[in-house]
Amino acid sequence: MAKQLSLFAEDADDADRRPALSRTDRDLVAKAIRCLEAVYLTKGDCLTSPKETRDYLKLRLYGLPYEVFVCLFLDNRHRVIRYEELFKGTIDGASVHPREVIRRVIETSAAAVIFAHNHPSGIAEPSQADLRITQRLKDALALIDVRVLDHLIVGEGDATSLAERGLL
């Protein structure tokens, strides 16, 4: 089931999500996320910078001991409607169900999306499975006129953009 995250709330299970970090470091990460959200995830601001989008998603997903697949739902001017964790997996994968993604896109009235997920291994290279699910989602969302702008894979200190690599 999808976990809707409040844009300005610290995750209640942050200690479970980032067990390797001290409480001070977790607080620092939470503060950085809130600062980025205040600047880039307000309804009035468009996502015009891939760097800020990448930095925000890296803060959200880096250091998790399990794979999480998330979606940024955007309106037709690429303003953020919502950030949402759609699927949570294990250390080496998460099952992504296109039907559920489409359901959430329709419920949020999104015109475009940015997908992201982490690789707990720390390696931000896309796997063949990543490329296949991205194409399946892109094809499915094209049927309802929703654009997939990017799919970012977050690793250790890095994030790979499928759009920048020409893989979308």
Determine the 3-state secondary structure of 147 from DSSP.
Answer: strand
Is the model's pLDDT at 148 over the cut of 50?
Answer: yes
Work out the mean pLDDT of the chain and round it to a whole number: 83
**pLDDT > 90: what percent of the chain?**
55
Query: pLDDT (tens digit, 9 = 90+) per residue, 70-127?
Result: 999 999 988 899 999 999 998 888 999 999 999 999 999 999 999 999 999 999 999 9
Token duo for residue 56: 């925000």
What is the residue-wise DSSP string for 65-130?
SS-EEEEEEE-TT-BEEEEEEEEE-BTTB----HHHHHHHHHHHT-SEEEEEEE-TTS--PPPHHH
| pLDDT at residue 144, rounded to an integer | 97
pTM, whole model, 2 decimals? 0.75
pLDDT of residue 52: 84
Rounded mean pLDDT, 45-70: 84
Residues 48, 51, 52, 55: is their CA dihedral positive or negative? positive
Helix %, strand %, coil % of the chain (to 5):
35, 25, 40
pLDDT of residue 36: 65
Q: What is the mean pLDDT of residues 143-157?
A: 94
Domains contained in the chain, CATH given: 3-161 (3.40.140.10)
26 three-state secondary structure? helix
